[in-house]
A and B are shown apart, each in its own frame.
Chain A
Amino acid sequence: MTKALDDILVLDLTTEFWSSLAAAMLGDFGADVVKLEPLPDAHELRDRYRDQNAPETWNYSFELANRNKRSLAIDLDAGRATFEKLVAAADVFLTDLPTAALTELRLDFATLSQLKPDLIYARGSGLGPEGPDSEEPAIDELAAARTGMMPILQQPGQPPVYTGAGQIYTTIMLAFGVTAALHHRDETGEGQEVDASLLGGNMYSASLDIQAFLAMGGERFLQPVSRLDAGNPMSGTLYPTEDGLWVTLTMPDTDRWWPDLSDIVGLDVEDPRYNSHERRCEENRLELISALEEAFAKRPAAHWRDTFNERKMSADVIEDYAYPAQDEQARRNSFIIDVDTENHGKVPSLGFPLYMSESLAELARTAPALGEHTDELLSSLAGASGDEIAALRSKGAVA
């Protein structure tokens, strides 16, 4: 079977989880991804991924962000000539280094595109390539802090909340940008620069609130809204259950769902306080929220799930990670997979969120050991002989 990207060679010079994951996901769909591990810091960069509270465990974040890659340990200065041969063979160069470092290392777009005129040069940054703060470090928390969502997601009076979603959004934006550029190159033979940032990722992952504020303004988008003051009691709301869990409802079309909802919570469908969308969502909105609060607290979560399922209502119990970890649906779709590891047996891992019928994502290889593929890559991509490789090794240019 072919894979969508199996004609694409990606040079991956990333150090962060979110950007490394972008390269791994290109690899999931067939790209040949070469992880460039810069000497002499390569070990240190890997160690940063270790879970300090469980240092002996499978290096799960590193493994996820570096699966389906081969590793080449190279000193980008001493091994420059070799590196240039790799660039000439590559389709995509993907990095998250600061522009100052890229210029100093002669890894900027202008330099590399001379080696490979149709190169796609993708860079992930913290706050975008333009603007006064373009050189600020790429830290997702700081990008999230600028995005305006941290003060409003939680209940009133609670501290700001960091979700981590923005960086994963940025991961997919990088992959999207690279693939869009490949499409253009397919058509015209032209390469180009691609950029995505944690700020852009955080903004787009929160795009509805942000766009609503831009268009409508107002205090209601600047302060947390209490769940007891939700705009629509039947949509986007949370209610506690008898056993201390929570249910959430999304039924924006309240006319369609009121007969079912009123029935399951024991309210009269004709109750004059709630018998129109306007009465439910405007005139008696707060009263209906209280009524639902009281009703959902009378039964346990399992009862509500069964009831929602029976009636095919868009409502569910709010679970923790134990749910997807055991969920058959997540396995059947390979959203979660089991990985055979060398030292830790079979370990569950995040899998592949996207299905392609003619290009099934798969785990062709787990994350490589440092320099595991140095010899084969030098031989196949840089045309180096055994003696040449040995010479590079002895002068510390590769490892």
Chain B
Amino acid sequence: MTGTTKAALDGVRVVDLTVWFQGPVAGQHLADFGAEVIHVERPQGGDLARGVRSIKAVPVGDWNQYFLVINRNKKSMALDLKLPEGQAVMRRLLEDADVFLTNLSAENLAGWSLSYEDVQKINPKLVYAVASGYGQFGDNSKPSFDMTVQALTGLMTRLGEPGQPPIYLGMGSGDAIGGLMAAWGVLMALHQRRRTGKGQLINASLYGAQLLLGGASLQGYLATGSERFSRQQSRSEPESALWNTYQAKDRWLYVCLADEGDAWSRFAGTLDDESVAADERFATADTRRENAAPLTAALAAVIAGRSVEDWLERWGPLGIPASEIANLADLAEDPQAWANDYFTETYCEEVQRDVKVRGLPVGLSETPGSVRTLGPELGQHTEEVLVETLGYTWDEVIALKEAGAIL
């Protein structure tokens, strides 16, 4: 995936003043497709994500993948924005940039003269992108992390069996969608700027993005008010028994058969128990839907008798869509994930070896994304950006260093 000569976002410069995950991952998507992304970090320790020591109580090991992967393909500049000298460098950086990306608090940004209004005066063509917690308007003052915002959306409360605790969609699930949405907004704003000559303010939020994750179920709730969308529904009482999870002899599987046409007769013919196929309660699509619970119980008993592999061998040739419910170890070996570059390997300076990383989820045939480097060391590119990009003299660089504005 290296050696690409063209990239979709060649020539786009992004000043990435972000921490943790939602903001940085937005910058990652832009950097993967060739934008020059300069991650500006505080000199004291840098982005807080550099300090992640464990995940799920497991030590991160010899390389901090949490930070290094979402900050890949970026440059790092260590700049103290609390000092006037640091703010002056930031202003120069923004003069010629295309995009300013941030997820810091509006209060901090205003204190450093980095509000949208401030920055527009420096560069009216700049796209100013905010990855926020709760959106552009209203009460934004509460601290926001992925899961505490997800808690408000209602997404967690509807998952799992009735009576079980709510279920989180996974670490960073809200940050990931909020960050991607910010990156998409940046691209739309760049396209619009070509015609208007003007930048703009965009705001992607954990709350807005995660409400969209509710998709059809939240939309169904809004339209009908029905608790079948908002509360936990047991898998033993599904809408359709042919679209459900089952525990086979060894592991779980998912069968997703639309109950139309001759689907049932094809499916029933594969079962070891002829009484299920003969049962009058299951004779038509309507009665199968009415009797989805007893049909689920009957199928569960039959499916438990054979291995997942057995079932998939029977169902595959008949066009019955089904899959083993894989775990992460299975995924790590999944040829689909590797063939499509959703996983890739790249060299990690910290441990001096190739490591496996998540790859590129969007394919562009002429300008594919690439993983060129993992996340930079703190301040690795400070001098390069100052001298080569911004035209500072070495004397000025030394003065900044003495003032403590850069590392």
**A residues within 8 Å of B by Cβ?**
2-5, 7, 17-18, 21, 29, 51-54, 57-58, 60-61, 64, 109, 127-134, 136-137, 139, 141-142, 144-155, 158-165, 167-169, 172-177, 179-184, 186-188, 190-197, 199-201, 203-216, 218, 220-222, 225, 227, 229-232, 236, 238, 240, 246, 248-250, 253, 281, 285, 309, 312-325, 327-330, 332-333, 335-336, 347-350, 352-359
Contacts and interface: CB of A to CB of B under 8 A. Distances in A.
Given A324-B152, A333-B138, A203 B192 contact: no
A179 B154 CA distance: 30
A316 B151 contact: yes
Contacts of A172: 177, 180-181, 184
A325 B58 CA distance: 38
Main secondary structure of the interface of A (DSSP, over half): mixed
B203 A238 contact: no
A248 B65 contact: no
A61 B336 contact: no
Contacts of B181: 172, 353-354
A142 B198 contact: no
Contacts of B59: 216
A90 B141 CA distance: 44
| The 6 nearest A-B residue pairs measured at CB | A231-B57, A131-B339, A128-B340, A333-B135, A353-B208, A148-B328
A332 B74 CA distance: 35
Main secondary structure of the interface of B (DSSP, over half): mixed
B82 to A, nearest CB: 19
A168 B252 CA distance: 24
15 contacts: A3-B192, A4-B192, A51-B220, A129-B363, A132-B335, A145-B324, A180-B8, A180-B364, A210-B331, A212-B55, A221-B328, A238-B168, A314-B148, A328-B138, A329-B207
B221 A325 contact: yes
Contact of B245 (A162, A193, A206): A162
Given A176-B180, A319-B154, A357-B200, A184 B366 contact: yes
A180 to B, nearest CB: 4
B151 A317 contact: yes
B154 A333 contact: no
Contacts of A199: 336-337, 340, 342
Contacts of A164: 213, 215-217
B192 to A, nearest CB: 4
A129 B207 contact: no
Contact of B180 (A131, A133, A204): A204
B196 A358 contact: yes
B8 A153 contact: no
Contact of B176 (A61, A169, A353, A357): A169
Interface string B359-402: 00111111100000000000000000000000000000000000
A200 to B, nearest CB: 4
A141 B189 contact: no
A349 B152 contact: no
A200 B331 CA distance: 12
Contact of A180 (B33, B213, B216, B235): B33
Contacts of A163: 155, 159, 167, 169-170, 173
Contacts of A350: 211-212, 214, 218-219, 222
Interface string B229-248: 11100010001000101010
A166 to B, nearest CB: 9
A134 B55 contact: no
Contacts of A349: 219, 222-223
Contacts of B57: 220, 229-232, 281, 285
A158 B342 contact: no
B81 interface: no
Contacts of B166: 238, 246, 248, 318
Contact of B215 (A148, A152, A167, A222): A167
B230 A165 contact: no
A216 B229 contact: no
A231 B56 contact: yes
Interface stretch (B84-92, B267-275, B350-358): B350-358
A324 to B, nearest CB: 6
B361 A201 contact: yes
B185 A354 contact: yes
B190 to A, nearest CB: 6
Contacts of B157: 318-321
Nearest to A313: B143
B164 A194 contact: no
B297 interface: no
A332 B191 contact: no
B18 interface: no
Contact of A205 (B142, B151, B169, B192): B169
Interface in B16-51: 21, 25, 29, 33, 48
Contact of B358 (A210, A330, A335, A336): A210
B328 A160 contact: no
A322 B188 contact: no
A353 B331 contact: no
A154 B358 CA distance: 24
Given A209-B171, A319-B151, A320-B154, A128 B61 contact: no
Contact of A356 (B145, B185, B194): B185
Contact of B204 (A7, A167, A187, A353): A353
Contacts of B146: 250
B2 interface: no
B323 interface: yes
Contacts of A317: 151
A214 B220 contact: no
B327 interface: yes
B294 interface: no
B65 A214 contact: yes
A192 B366 contact: yes
Nearest to B30: A180
B351 to A, nearest CB: 10
B211 A330 contact: yes
Contacts of A145: 253-254, 323-326
A269 to B, nearest CB: 20
Contact of A206 (B134, B173, B202): B173
B162 to A, nearest CB: 11
A2 B200 contact: no
| Centre residue among A190, A208, A348 by max chain B CB count within 10 A | A208
B157 to A, nearest CB: 4
Contact of A231 (B9, B55, B137): B55
Contact of B289 (A52, A175, A327, A330): A52
Contacts of B164: 154-155, 158
A2 B195 contact: yes
Contacts of B173: 163, 165, 205-206
B83 to A, nearest CB: 24
